[in-house]
């Protein structure tokens, strides 16, 4: 369940035909793409556009991703992709996700992804201060755990 003590953003869209299998059910791999869209939307909503982060010389490389499939989604279904920050550290952050039916609010998929900040040269780096500060705004005060 999405937390209530921090910023949670949601973007909505329809499941496209190309994202489904022969039964009209969303292929499991597409939820990882939906997580990415939710994460990009979250960053934009906090005024920390990921494109600017990359232009500054950094990437957030995926270290781990997890999805738990609860209820399938189908072609032409309007879904919401929710995102929030689970944990923020100096060099890493973890995003949480829910994919929900946009009409009923039924949770269909939950998940998280862990990311490490690296420079374009491939070295683990501190998250740039401006991006870190923007992400920190999404957390409850007691949830800011830099290390």
Is 49 annotated as catalytic? no
Half-sphere exposure of 4 (CA within 13 A, CB side): 0
Rounded CA separation 56/12 (Å): 29
Element (H, E) at 129: helix 129-136
Catalytic residue among 21, 49, 52, 101: 21
Which residues are CB-neighbours of 143 under 8 A, at least 6 positions away?
A: 5, 6, 87, 88
- On whether the CB atoms of residues 70 and 127 are closer than 8 A, the answer is no
Helix then strand then coil, % of the chain, to nearest 5: 25, 40, 35
- On whether the CB atoms of residues 79 and 11 are closer than 8 A, the answer is no
CA angle 54, 100, 66 (to 5 degrees): 55
The residues carrying an active-site annotation are 21
């Amino acid at each position: 369940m999405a937390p209530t003590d921090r910023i949670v953003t949601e973007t909505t869209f329809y499941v496209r035909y190309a994202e489904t299998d022969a039964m009209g059910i969303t292929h499991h791999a597409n939820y990882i793409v939906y997580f990415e869209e939710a994460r990009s939307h979250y960053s934009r909503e906090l005024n920390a556009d990921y494109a600017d982060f990359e232009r500054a010389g950094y990437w957030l490389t995926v270290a781990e991703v997890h999805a738990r499939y609860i209820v399938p989604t189908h072609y032409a279904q309007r879904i919401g992709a929710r995102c929030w920050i689970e944990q923020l550290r100096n060099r890493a952050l973890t995003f949480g996700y829910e994919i929900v039916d946009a009409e009923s609010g039924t949770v269909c998929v939950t998940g998280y992804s862990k990311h490490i900040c690296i420079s374009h040269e491939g070295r683990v780096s501190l998250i740039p201060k401006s991006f870190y500060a923007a992400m920190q705004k999404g957390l409850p005060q007691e949830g800011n755990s830099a290390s």
